[in-house]
Amino acid sequence: MKKIQLLIFCTFISLLLCGCAAIEDALNINLWDDNPRYQISLHSIIKHPRGNEIEEEVSTFKGEKIIINSNSFIDSSKILDAELIPLEDKPGYFDISLRLNGTGIKQWFQLVLDYRDDPVAVVIDGAYFGRFRPDGGHTEDDEWVTLKGPFNEVIARGIVKYARRNYRHYHPNSSF
C-alpha cells in the first residue's frame, strides 16, 4: 500500500513540475527565478573623473554616459519595502517612500548630511535613471524616507513590486 502511495505521490510531483515548465514556456517567465529586479541604488556623481578604481561609468536610459562612485550609499539590500506617493501636479508620476533597515536609515542620514546641496545619482538595474537632492525631512526614529522622483508609473510600480523580494534575495535568512 505504501509503495502505491509513493508511486502516486511521485507521479503527482512529476506532473506538477512538468506543468510548471509548460506554464513558464507559454508565458515566457521563470517561476523559480529569484534574481533581483528593479534594483535601485544611490551614488555620488563624480564631477571630475580621476581614473580611480571606485569610479564607474554608467549609461543613461538616453544612451549617454555619466561617472558615479561605484560604492552606493543605499541599495536594494537596505530597502525592506516601498510605497508609491502620487504627484498631484504630474498625473502618472510618483515619488517613492522607502522603508529602510537600520543600516539603511543611518546611511540615509549620512547621505542627507553630505549631499544636501549636491545631486545624487539614482541607478536602476545598473542604468542611470536621474538625479535627486536628499532632504532631511525625517527623524532617526523613522523607518520610511521619501525618494523624490518623478518616477514614471512603470519604473515606480516595478520598484515597489520587487522591493521586498529584492531584500529577501540579499537576506535569505531574514524573518522579514
pLDDT of residue 21: 45
pLDDT of residue 133: 85
Which residue, among 65, 69, 91, 78, has the nearest Cα to 147 in the 3D structure? 78
Q: In a structure prediction context, what are the per-residue pLDDT tens digits for the chain, which is 176 residues long?
A: 677 766 676 666 665 555 544 554 455 455 556 788 999 999 999 888 787 888 899 988 788 889 998 999 999 999 999 999 999 999 999 999 999 999 999 999 899 888 888 889 999 998 999 988 887 666 666 789 999 989 999 999 999 999 999 999 999 887 76
- Top-tier CATH class for 40-170: alpha beta
User: Residue 128 in contact with residue 58, Cβ under 8 Å?
Assistant: yes
Q: What is the pLDDT of residues 75-112, one digit of tens each?
A: 999 999 999 999 999 999 999 999 999 999 999 989 98
pLDDT of residue 68: 92
The residues, any chain, with a CB within 8 Å of residue 104's CB and separated by 6 or more, are: 74, 78, 79, 80, 98
Instruction: Write the single-letter amino acid at 158.
Output: G
pLDDT of residue 49: 79
